[in-house]
Chain A
Amino acid sequence: MDESLLRTLTPAVLAVLVRRGADFAAAEDAVQDALVEAVRVWPDDPPRDPKGWLVTAAWRKFLDAVRADTSRRHREVRVDREPVPGPGEAADDTLQLYFLCAHPALTPASAVALTLRAVGGLTTRQIAQAYLVPEATMAQRISRAKRTVSDVRLNRPGDVSTVLRVLYLVFNEGYSGDVDLAAEAIRLTRHLAAGTEHEEVAGLLALMLLHHARRPARTGADGRLVPLAEQDRSLWDTRLIAEGVGILQAALARDRLGEFQAQAAVAALHADARCAAETDWVQIVEWYDELVRLTGNPVARLNRAVAVGEADGPRAGLTALARLDPSLPRHTAVAAYLHERDGDLTTAARLYAEAARSAPSLPERDHLTRQAARLNAELRG
């Protein structure tokens, strides 16, 4: 039973139903029902044409649901004749689903949930597990999202940047429960990139691949966070790096820079260095300058201060940092790092301990506590 094949087919099947006139919410329910049936039936009786099978099954489920629920009859759906299922659905149909699921009327959390379900083909239970909320809560979030976009017509392209933001959010959620959301985000972004010619889609895909390539090195055996400079670079996935760099170069060559391409360029420069000391920090500062120019994002400014600290020395980094809002997340951690590099271990230890108290995640808190502990031990001699 090839579950990944099922999930790959999900958005295409859903798109067929929507194009035939089914409203999005009902079509989505019908596709989920068809998937459940496929999981039950296929192991004993594998179909010759899996997509055709799913389209037929989903359309039947949809018709059953419409017939069973008289209140739905008034909807503008032609239920009296069953179109012949067949091939020839354009890839565009699926792309429209991405836009629908990332519709600006949805909150980010709803758009993420709907995308994972309707485009990704994950079950509500899997999505709930990944986001550590009860299944009933996630079911409500998804059904409210479906109602919100139910009346949206799929007749004009949406804004691709909203789709990219949703995919980026999914990617950053990483890994919890039995679903690897980072891998799922890459899969969906790959699919999107295959059907569009947008530089920022390519930029985001490159960024994801380059970050994903470093994942095996990012955590130690006991689950602790390993900072970039200390990572065992032989654990980096060179195949993913090569792919990411290739995609990024092709995108940059088109000379329409965007924030994801700039972020990917920073990631590519890190990936390029055989050891931390070989990192081209001067170029990284330049890319952060671009990123700040493109977005004005304070987090980009904070990262820029770190890069300046490496390129021009910790004093220069601290000067750049002094211009930023101290309430920025991770500001204290960056200050601690730069003070340590500057040789002021007492201040660094105090700031690491302070940063640990306001850390946004457990691995970061433990990491920052260890940094403080390490310096305090050094200071005790």
Chain B
Amino acid sequence: MAKYLLLKHYRGGPAPLDDVPMDRWTPEEVSAHARYMDDLAARLEGNGEFVDSQALSSEGTFVRHDGEGRPPVTDGPFAETKDLIAGWMVIDVETYERALEVAGELSAAPGAGGKPVREWLEVRPFLSPCVNVTD
């Protein structure tokens, strides 16, 4: 089994195909979208493939050290051009192909008009924390 991070971006990914903002959907479409996400997570849990899922606020700040005794330097809230992560799901699956398949399913969540939103998701393999001695 290998873990993968499926990252959803508010901004910073490839240009979206279908960019109707959520507040332009109908309330039922918003609910259907949320339900699809919950159902998918529940299904992955049932499969033994789900690890974690979190949503992030759309606010964020870059911070760095600025020398001893000085307050850290901040940059932000983010300018419009910067990458902004919306949330993630972590899965633990047998193959890379399976990770892509799950990401595809996530991306098929229904949007405006009930059609799949087809948003871009970034799939990132975890580095294993230990060396596999049987390889």
Report B85-110 CB contacts with A as 1/0, cut-off 8 Å. Answer: 00000000000000000000000000
CB <8 Å contact, B57 and A373: no
- Residue A356, interface by CB 8 Å: yes
- Residue A276, interface by CB 8 Å: no
Within 8 A of B (CB), among A326-381: 349, 352-353, 356-360, 362, 365-366, 369-374, 376-377
Report B29-65 CB contacts with A as 1/0, cut-off 8 Å. Answer: 1110011001000000000000000010111000000
Contact of A373 among B25, B34, B35, B55 (CB under 8 A): B25
- Residue A88, interface by CB 8 Å: no
CB <8 Å contact, A349 and B55: no
Provide the bound-state CA to CA distance between A295 and B38, in Å. 40
CB <8 Å contact, A373 and B22: yes
Provide the bound-state CA to CA distance between A222 and B33, in Å. 11
Contact of A366 among B24, B26, B30 (CB under 8 A): B30
Q: Which chain A residues lie closer than 8 Å to B25 at the CB level?
A: 373
- Residue B66, interface by CB 8 Å: no
- Residue A223, interface by CB 8 Å: yes
Provide the bound-state CA to CA distance between A356 and B55, in Å. 13
Task: Identify whether the interface residues of A are mostly helix, strand, loop, or mixed.
Answer: helix
Q: Which residue of A lies closest to B34 (CB)?
A: A366
Within 8 A of A (CB), among B9-32: 21-27, 29-31
Provide the bound-state CA to CA distance between A352 and B26, in Å. 14
Q: If A358-B58, A362-B55 touch, does A222 touch B23 (CB 8 Å cutoff)?
A: no
Q: Which residue of A lies closest to B87 (CB)?
A: A362
User: Closest Cβ of chain B: how far from A326's Cβ, in Å?
Assistant: 15
User: Closest Cβ of chain B: how far from A35's Cβ, in Å?
Assistant: 30
Chain A to chain B contacts (Cβ below 8 Å), 23 pairs: A222-B35, A224-B31, A224-B34, A352-B23, A353-B21, A353-B23, A357-B58, A358-B57, A358-B58, A358-B59, A360-B57, A366-B30, A366-B34, A369-B22, A370-B27, A373-B23, A373-B24, A373-B26, A373-B27, A373-B30, A374-B26, A374-B27, A376-B23
CB <8 Å contact, B30 and A369: yes
Q: Which residue of A lies closest to B58 (CB)?
A: A357
Q: Which residue of A lies closest to B59 (CB)?
A: A358
Q: Which chain A residues lie closer than 8 Å to B30 at the CB level?
A: 366, 369-370, 373
Q: Which chain A residues lie closer than 8 Å to B22 at the CB level?
A: 356, 369, 373
Provide the bound-state CA to CA distance between A198 and B31, in Å. 45
CB <8 Å contact, A376 and B24: yes
Within 8 A of B (CB), among A222-239: 222-224
Interface size in chain A (residues, C-beta < 8 A)? 22
User: Closest Cβ of chain A: how far from B86's Cβ, in Å?
Assistant: 11
User: Closest Cβ of chain B: how far from A175's Cβ, in Å?
Assistant: 16
User: Closest Cβ of chain B: how far from A300's Cβ, in Å?
Assistant: 24
Provide the bound-state CA to CA distance between A359 and B22, in Å. 15
Q: Which chain A residues lie closer than 8 Å to B31 at the CB level?
A: 222, 224, 366, 370
Q: Which chain A residues lie closer than 8 Å to B24 at the CB level?
A: 373, 376
Q: Which chain B residues lie closer than 8 Å to A365 at the CB level?
A: 55
Provide the bound-state CA to CA distance between A357 and B57, in Å. 7
What 9 pairs across the A-B complex have the smallest Cβ distances? A372-B23, A370-B27, A353-B23, A374-B27, A370-B30, A373-B27, A357-B58, A369-B22, A373-B25
User: Closest Cβ of chain A: how far from B89's Cβ, in Å?
Assistant: 14
Q: Which residue of B lies closest to A353 (CB)?
A: B23
Provide the bound-state CA to CA distance between A377 and B23, in Å. 9
Q: Which residue of A lies closest to B112 (CB)?
A: A373
Provide the bound-state CA to CA distance between A369 and B27, in Å. 8
User: Closest Cβ of chain B: how far from A371's Cβ, in Å?
Assistant: 8
Q: Which chain B residues lie closer than 8 Å to A366 at the CB level?
A: 30-31, 34
User: Closest Cβ of chain B: how far from A128's Cβ, in Å?
Assistant: 15
Contact of A223 among B21, B38, B59 (CB under 8 A): B38
User: Closest Cβ of chain A: how far from B82's Cβ, in Å?
Assistant: 16
Q: Which chain A residues lie closer than 8 Å to B55 at the CB level?
A: 362, 365
Q: Which chain B residues lie closer than 8 Å to A370 at the CB level?
A: 27, 30-31
Q: Which chain B residues lie closer than 8 Å to A352 at the CB level?
A: 23
CB <8 Å contact, B26 and A377: yes
User: Closest Cβ of chain A: how far from B117's Cβ, in Å?
Assistant: 14
Q: Which residue of A lies closest to B22 (CB)?
A: A369
Q: Which residue of B lies closest to A375 (CB)?
A: B23
Provide the bound-state CA to CA distance between A372 and B23, in Å. 5
CB <8 Å contact, A373 and B29: yes
Provide the bound-state CA to CA distance between A374 and B31, in Å. 12
Q: Which chain B residues lie closer than 8 Å to A358 at the CB level?
A: 57-59
Q: Which chain A residues lie closer than 8 Å to B57 at the CB level?
A: 358-360
Provide the bound-state CA to CA distance between A357 and B58, in Å. 6
CB <8 Å contact, B38 and A349: no
Within 8 A of B (CB), among A214-254: 222-224
User: Closest Cβ of chain A: how far from B29's Cβ, in Å?
Assistant: 7
Q: Which chain A residues lie closer than 8 Å to B21 at the CB level?
A: 353
